[in-house]
Structure 1
Amino acid sequence: MFETLRDLTPKFESLFCDRYSVSLRNEANTVLKNLGEAIVGIFIELENRIRSDPVKAAVPGGRLHPVLRYVMNYLVLICDYWHTLEQVFEDYGHRLKEYHNLDDSVPSSSLLSLQMGQIMEVLDSNLEAKSKIYNEPALCCVFLMNSSRYILQKTKDNELGKLLSNDVIQNHEAKVLYNHEQYQKISWSKVLGFLKLDDNGIVPPNMVKKSMKKKLKLFNLLFEEICRVQSLWFVFDEQLREIVRVSIERNLLPAYENFIGRFESVLELGKYDHDKYVKYQMEDIVAKLDDLFQGSSGSTKAQN
C-alpha cells in the first residue's frame, strides 16, 4: 500500500495541482505519512511481542521454538521490501527515536538496521530465558545450539544477513561452538571418567580387576541411559547433528577401545565372562550414537 501510494503521488499532485485541490493533496500526503508511521510501529510492536512472549513449558527435545521460527521467517520475508523500508525508517523514524530515546545525532538512514539489531537482541534474550526451563543442562545446550544454528541458516547468503551486523552473525557462530562444548562436557565427561585406567602402579592387581569391573558396569549403565534419553532429543540440522555425533565418537571410541583392551588383558576372561561384562562392542557404540538427536517419530518434519 505504501509503495503504491508513494509511486502515485507525483501523478496525483500533477493531476490535482490547482488551488481547489489543496485539501485533497494534503489528505493523500497524510495517508502516506500514516502508512509510513504504521510500518515503523509494526517493528516496534514486533520487538514488544518478542520481549513479552511468556516463558511457558519447554519445547520437547530441545526443538526450535515457534517464536524463533516465526520471527526469523518474518524478517527474511520483509527483506523483499528492503529499499522501501529504508526510506520509510528514514522519513518516519522519529517514533522509533522516541521509543528508544535516541538523540538527533543518530542518522535516520541507520534506523532500520538499528531496529533489526534490537529485534535480534531481544530474541536472543527471550530464547536464553526459555532455555532455562529445561531441567537438564545438556538439553538446554541442545536447544540453544538449535536456535543459533537456525538463525545462521536464515541469515546466510540473503539480504537479512547483509543487513545485520557481523557481530550478530559471529555471536551466533560462537554460541553454537560454546553450547556444543558445554553439551560435550555435561553429557560425556562422567562417562569418559569411567574409562580412565589406573596405571599408577599403586593399586594392587586384585583391586585393579575389581575397579575395572565396577567402572565398566557404571559405564554401561550411564552410556545406555544417555543414549536412551538423548535419542529423544532433536537436532534439526543434519550437518550439525553429524558434527556433534562425530565429536562424541572422536572422544569416546579411542577411550573405550583402550579400556576394553586393558580389561580383557587384565582379567583374561573366557567368552561367557567376557560377554557378561563387555556389553558393547565398538560397532554397538557407534550404532547407539547414530540414534542420538533423532527425536520421536515424525519429529523431523515442520522445522523450517
Structure 2
Amino acid sequence: MPRKGMKSLCFSPKISSSSPSHSSSSAPSSQFSSPSRFGLSPSRPSFSDSVMDRTLEMAEPMIMKWNPDSTNFARVTSLFYESRREARDFIKTVKNLQKAMHLIVTENSSSEKLIRAQNLMQIAMKRLQKEFYQILSMNRAHLDPESVSTRSSRTSTGSSVSEYDDDDDDVADESISISEVEDASSGAMADLRLIAECMISSGYAKECLKIYKIIRKSIVDEGIYKLGVVKFTSSQIHKMDWEALEVRIQNWLNAVRTAVKTLFNGERILCDYVFASSDSIRESCFTEITKEGATILFAFPENVAKNSKKSPEKIFRALDMYTGISYHWPEIDSIFSFESTIAVKSQALTSLIKLAEFVRAALHDFESIILKDSLKSPVAGAGIHDLTTDVMNYLSILSDYSNILSDILADSPPSAKSTLPESYFGFYDSDESPAPAITLKLAWLILVLLCKLDTKAKYYKDVSIAYLFLANNLQYVVVKVRTSNLKYLLGDEWLTRHESKVKQFAAKYERLGWGHVIDSLPSDPTAVETPEKVKEIFKIFNTTFDQAYRKQSVCVVPDNKLRDEIKVSIARKIFRLYREFYNAHRVTMGRERNSAAVVRYAPEDVGHHLSDLFFGHFELGGSSSFESSPSPSHSRQPRSR
C-alpha cells in the first residue's frame, strides 16, 4: 500500500467496513506479532515491530478498560472525574500509540499491528469524545463566560504548551487560580485543552469541534437572550412607540457592557486556551460560536438610527448607544480580531456611522425648532422664557457627551462660521488656532437662541422691560454655561463677553426704567432752593417714582446675583440723592401747609420700595406694560439661581 494511503488510514476517524471488527482488537497480541509475516527473521524483529509490541501491550489494557461499549462502569463513569492521574496516563498512552503508528508506517505499512492499533485508537477517541462532552456539559457553571473572563488575559492562556507535559509526572499548577471557582474553571479548561490537543493531533478534530461548538454556542445564545437582546426587523422598530423603544434601548445599554467584557471576552479566552495548538481551529470555532449573537447585538443601534422616528429629544439615547460601542471599541477590536469576524466589527462601525448621522440630523432639527418658535405672548414680569430654559437644559446635557460629540461633529462645522464675524460666537476663531467643531456648534445654537430672544423682546410695549427680559434670559444662559460642561467647551472668553452684555442690558433697563426718577432729583441735593422749587421737586419725584414703581414692581429677576446688582445700582442713585435732598429740605417743608401731601415718602419708604423690587409684587397695582396677557404656559417663573 502506498505511504500516502496508509497515512490516511492512521489519521482518519472512520474505518472502512472491511477493517477488522472491534473484537479483533481485543484478541491476544500474539495473533498480530509473528515476525514471519513481515519477511523478518523470528530472532531479529524490526525496531518498529518491537516498539509497537511494547506499546500495544501497555495501551490495550488501559484503552479497553475505558471502552464505553464494553462495560457499564466505562459507560457511566467519567475518566477525568474518577482519576485525574489515570486520565493523564490515558492521554500519554494514546500519544505513545500514535507515535508507534507513525514509526511502523515508515517501515512496514502493511503490518496488521497497525490495523490493531488503529482500532484501539478509535476506541480511545470515542472515550475522549465522551469525556470532552461530559466536561463541557457538567461544568457549565465553572465554564460560564464570567468565570472564564476572570483569567488574567488571553495571552496568559494562549500558550500551546499543555499542562500535562509528557515528561512531567504532575499536573502543572494553575498560578492564576485565586478562588475555588477559578480553580474549578481552570481545571476544567486544562482538561478540555488536553483532550482537544490529543484528538486534533490524532486526526479527530472534526468530532471534537462539533461537540464544542454545539455546547458553547448554546451558552452564548442563551447569554444574549438573557441580556434582553432581541433581533428586530426594520418595520418592528418603525412601528414601535418611543416609550417601548426606549426600554429596549436601555436593555441594550445594560447588555453591551456585559456582552463585550464578559460574554464574548470569556468565550474568546476559553476558545484560545482550549484550541491553542491550532490558530485556524480556534478562529473558526470562535467565529461560529459568537458571530450570530454579536451581529444581533451590534446591529440594534443601526436599526434604531435608521428606522425610529427622529426628534431632538431622542438624541441622548443615540449618544448613549454611540458611547456604548465607541467606549468598548478597543475590546471589540481585540476580541473579534480574526479575519472571519471582520463582519462583526464592520457591523459595529456601521452602527456608529448611522448613529452619528442621527445625531447630526437631530441637532439640525433642534435648530429649526428654535427658529420656528412663534409664540408672541411676552413672559410675565420679563422673566425667563420657556424657550431659554428648554434650549439651555438641552445644551447642558449635550455638553456631558462632549467627547462623543467631538468625534461626530469633527467633519461637520457649522456653515454659519463662514458668513458671520467671529465676535458673534463670543470668541475668536482663526486658521492658526481653530475652535473645535463642537464648540462652534454649541456657540452657534446659543447664538440662534439669543437672536430669537431678541425678537421676542420686541413684544414688550415698554422698552425698559424688554431690556430687563434680555438681561434675565442672557443671565440664565451665562449661569447655565458656567455651571455645566459648556464652560469648558465655550471657554472663559465667551463667558466674559456675555457677562458684559448682561451688564449692558441691565444698565439700559436702569436708564430707561428709572432714569426719569433719577433726573427728577437735583445733582446737588444740598443746593439752596426756594420753597416753591423744593415743593415742585418733591411733587415731580412722587409722580415719577410712583409711575416707575407701578411698572417695575411686576417685574422679576430670578437670579439672586443679578437682582442684587440691579437693586444696589438703582438704590445707590435714587435712594442716596433722595435722602440727601430730603434731609436738606425737610425743615423747610415742615413749615408748609399740607406738607404730608407734598413729602409723601421718607427715605426709608423709598428704600423699602426699592428693596421689594423684582419679586413680582403688585401692591400698587397699575396698568400692565404688556400688549396682551401672557399665556399660562409662559407665565411660569423658574427657580432663582
Question: TM-score range, shorter-chain basis?
Answer: 0.7 to 0.9
Structure 1 residue identity aligned to 2:371 = R
Structure number with higher relative contact order (C-alpha < 8 Å, ≥ 6 residues apart): 1
User: Corresponding residue for 1:118?
Assistant: 444
**1:79-158 aligned within 5 A:** 79-90=399-410, 93-94=411-412, 96=413, 99-100=415-416, 110-158=436-484
Deviations along 1:202-240, one digit per CA (max 9) or x if unpaired, are: xxx7xx333332331221122122222212100001222
Hey, what does 2:379 align to over in structure 1?
A: 59
Give deviations 1:112-171, integer Å, cap 9, x for gaps. 111111112212211111112111111112111111211221122542111004442122
Whole-Å separation in 2 of the counterparts to 1:35 and 1:129? 34
Q: Going by fraction, where is helix more abundant, 1 or 2?
A: 1
1:46 matched residue in structure 2: 366
Give 1:145-294 correspondences, 5 Å limit. Answer: 145-196=471-522, 208-267=530-589, 269=591, 273-294=594-615
Residue deviations 1:62-107 (CA, integer Å, cap 9, x gap): 10111111111112112222212212223xx34x56x5587xx899
| Amino acid paired to 1:141 | Y
Residues 259 and 9 of structure 1: is their aligned pair in 2 closer, same or farther, counting only changes over 3 Å?
Answer: closer
Query: For residue 199 of structure 2, what is the aligned residue in structure 1?
Result: none
Give the drift of 1:301: 5.1
Pair 1:70 & 2:390 matched: yes
Q: Is the partner of 2:436 in helix, strand or coil?
A: helix
Matched-pair contact (CA < 8 Å) for 1:148–1:172 = yes
**What is the one-letter code of the residue matched to 2:440?**
L
Range moving further from structure 2, 146-155 or 41-50: 41-50
Deviation of 1:267 after TM superposition, in Å, equals 4.6
Q: Percent identity?
A: 25
Judged with a 3 Å threshold, the aligned counterparts in structure 2 of structure 1 residues 221 and 299 are, in CA distance, closer, same or farther, namely farther
Q: Supply the distance in 2 between the matched residues of 1:279 and 1:101 (Cα, whole angstroms).
A: 57
Q: 1:221 to 1:175 in 2, by over 3 A?
A: same
CA deviations on 1:41-71 (whole Å, 9 max, x unpaired) are 2222222222232251111111011111111
Q: 2-side partners of 1:135 and 1:86: how far apart?
A: 43
CA gap 1:26/1:300 in 2 versus in 1, 3 angstroms: closer
Displacement of 1:192 after TM fit?
2.1
221-230 or 6-15: bigger deviation: 6-15
Alpha carbon RMSD of aligned pairs, Å?
Answer: 3.1
Whether the 8 Å CA contact 1:294–1:300 is kept in 2: the answer is: no
Match of 1:164, SS state, is helix
**Does the CA contact (< 8 Å) of 2:525 and 2:577 recur in 1?**
no
Query: What SS is found at the alignment partner of 2:521?
Result: coil
Structure 1 residue runs of 5 or longer lacking an equivalent are none
Tell me the CA shift for residue 109 of structure 1: 8.1
1:219 corresponds to which letter in structure 2? Answer: F
Would the aligned equivalents of 2:582 and 2:602 in 1 still touch at CA under 8 Å? no
C-alpha separation in 1, matches of 2:417 and 2:406? 20
Q: Structure 1: how far apart are the matches of 2:345 and 2:589?
A: 96
Call closer, same or farther: CA 1:264–1:28 in 2, change over 3 Å: closer
**Structure 1 residue 250, shift from structure 2 partner:** 0.9
Q: Which amino acid aligns with 2:461?
A: N
Relative to structure 2, which stretch is displaced further, 284-293 or 108-117? 108-117
Distance 1:303 1:39, change over 3 A: farther
Change (3 A) 1:47 1:286: same
Q: Kindly indicate whether the alpha-carbon contact (under 8 Å) linking 1:89 and 1:108 is maintained by their aligned counterparts in 2.
A: no
Matched residues, number: 291
> 1: CA distance between counterparts of 2:367 and 2:457?
19
Deviation at 1:9, TM superposition (A): 5.0
Shift of 1:186: 1.1
What's the CA shift for 1:296?
4.9
Distance 1:101 1:249 in 2: 43
Task: List runs of 5+ in structure 2 lacking aligned partners.
Answer: 1-320, 419-430, 619-634
2:161 corresponds to which residue?
none
Q: 1:282 to 1:51 in 2, by over 3 A?
A: same
